[in-house]
Amino acid sequence: MTVLDELAEEARRRVRRAEREAPLEEMRRRAEEAAGRGFPFEDALRKEGMSFICEVKKASPSKGVISESFPYMEIARDYERGGASCISVLTEPSRFLGDLRYLSEIAGEAKVPVLRKDFVVDEYMIYEAKLAGASAVLLICSILGEDELSRFIGACDSLGMSALVEAHDEEEVSKALRCGARVIGVNNRDLRDFTVDHRNCLRLRPMVPDDVLFVAESGIRTRQDIEDLERSGVDAVLIGETLMRAEDRVSKLRELKGSGVKVKLCGMRTERDVSEAVKAGADMIGMVLSPGFRRSVPTGRAVRMSRLVPRGVVLVGVFVDSPAEEVEKVSKLLNLGMVQLHGSEDDEYVSRIRSSLGVPVVKSFVVKSEDDLARAERSAADLVLLDGGMGSGEGFDRSLMRPLGRKVVLAGGLTPENVGEAVAAMRPYAVDVSSGIETDGAKDPDKMKAFVESAKAACKEDRE
């Protein structure tokens, strides 16, 4: 028997012992009474940017005891302070030295969703997880038949829980999709012999549709690893040992998350512009989709340009006082990842667009006074863009800048020469540039590259 076989068999014995004290029907009834609405685990993974599932575990079969003292509540609190999206708790007792009690206590205090990580071989374990406060459970393709997997996913759905369905190869990914998985985790570790192939998840990423959340698991150790996964369109990472062994878990998690600014290169007008923006390392690429402006792009050309934007780079559509119906139509046609509004659109308009499209909305504000900042602060948008003159390249008075308590995109007057200083001084979520990367009115590949490098370098210097 492999280690995985042994773990699965031990899980079955645990279920039989537990059923002597609380029969299956009793557990099902209690879990159904506690059933919730919505799927908070999936909501957490869908938020913009890479999501981090941080693992609380004392030991593993391949590494032995990782934490002798194992202050599990303190570990969970550290993860929340560091910005974890979710917390994974090992409950397998024989090789991982876990306990369902750890899950229950952590879930009782945590403000983020909690995942039960175990070798689930029976619905009973799903009901246990629900009653312990878990928002999700791990289901491993290699120890479950297709009928079992489908049934277990259905049991999770009925309780308002998510299933993180773990696969390791092409056949298991296909199996997960056939069974209706909404969240697929690809494990870089082969659970049969515990060897690790760090690129396994990257090879399998193209098999998973965009509407299914994709989680990379195991062997993720550095910020560079995270950046590689971000570029491949991975939605979340599950990290255990790297964080468990860190002297300062909060700092290590923040290092992995990165304090780097996002860079949006805007005003793309040709397919060449898009290709060069991608090469330059843009996180977001913008096109002006309302007619009548110098950088406006006709819809037909925009469709061709959109095909050049790879997974992991956000395509942003910029609109100025366009009818909401037109914004919705064009956004769906281009499969936009974000909508940016540059006109007089009010909060009702913003809310309609977000609700209709299900993507983040950016609202731009010309900043001339403190009142303008106050309006930006109150906006219903997901992000606010602070500008000096709506595409004029004019910067705003940065002496007005103060923390807004929300994600800010900085624009106006930025160039490769001054963006580093602006990022270091103002710490925006993102920077947005169009005229500052042009020469004689056309996008300049060298300026694009220099702009991205300068913005990212400012964050790197700050971390060091």
Q: What is the dihedral of CA 74, 79, 83, 89, to 10 degrees?
A: -130
CA distance 90 to 242: 15
Q: Which two tokens stand for residue 43?
A: 């909501």
Type of residue numbered 118: D
Contact 214, 203 (CB under 8 A): no
For residue 425, count other CB atoms closer than 10 A to its CB. 12
CA distance 187 to 117: 13
CA distances from 25 to 12, 16, 127, 138, 160 (A): 17, 14, 10, 22, 18
Contact 263, 283 (CB under 8 A): yes
CA distance 243 to 74: 13
Contact 375, 365 (CB under 8 A): yes
Query: Known catalytic residues?
Result: 55, 57, 117, 166, 187, 217-218
For residue 144, count other CB atoms closer than 10 A to its CB. 22
Rounded to 5°, angle at Cα 181 from 177 and 185: 95
